[in-house]
Amino acid sequence: MSQHILDLPHVEHAEAEGEAKRVLDKAKAGVGFVPNMYKAMVNSPGLLETYLDGYARFRASGVFTPAEQEVVFLTISDANGCGYCMAAHTMLALHKSGVGAADVEALRAGKPLPTAKLEALRAFTRHLWDTRARPTKEAVRAFHAAGYSDRHILELVLACAVKTLSNWSNHLTEPAVDEVFAAHKVAAA
């Protein structure tokens, strides 16, 4: 592993104080443990809290199914080259959200998915990311034809923002992949 770009401690929950402790308490209440990613992000409590709130709102919006949410998060994490989030969302996709193994394998390889509706979501999410939210009319029409709405598109903006917070933070702080996600680590390039 390369030397961290930023020289910040990874704050252990038991040692946290003040605002950092409050935000880590919130994180632990939400996930049941404090992931290594959060231990790095909490060096900026506002960063971690913004991430947690945005993540929770995206999950709770009811617009995308849990499987669709993982397709979105894996697509963005792949676009950002974030191995930590690829491992975490692979575990969630396979063991919590009901994404099929063939779809997950395709997502991890950056290839089209065998499930047509999920492929339409993956392709549009990647297009939205690549165009910096300037999709073509044809892409929007294809997304609508797959059963998605304009509200879905705005929710994708939220997902892109949330994943950018975590992916970019991970690039800067290089947290170790937690044991719970370790079986799904992305092979080093």
**What is the per-residue pLDDT across 4-29, written as a single tens digit (0 to 9) for each?**
689 999 999 999 999 999 999 999 99
Is residue 124's pLDDT more than 80? yes
CB 94 within 8 A of CB 106: no
Mean pLDDT, all residues of the chain:
96
At residue 173, does pLDDT exceed 50? yes
Percent of the chain with pLDDT over 70: 97
| pLDDT cut 90: percent of the chain above it | 94
State phi, psi for 103 to the nearest 5 degrees.
-65, -40
Q: What is the pLDDT of residue 1?
A: 42
Tell me the domain boundaries of the chain.
Answer: 64-184
> CB–CB of 11/39 below 8 Å?
yes
What is the CATH number assigned to the segment(s) 64-184? Answer: 1.20.1290.10
Match 């996600």 to its residue by tokens: 181
- Distance, CA of 89 to CA of 37 (rounded, Å): 13
Global pTM reads 0.95
Name which of 39, 3, 1, 6 is nearest 21 in CA terms: 39
Local structure of 98: helix, strand or coil: coil
Averaged pLDDT for residues 157-182: 97
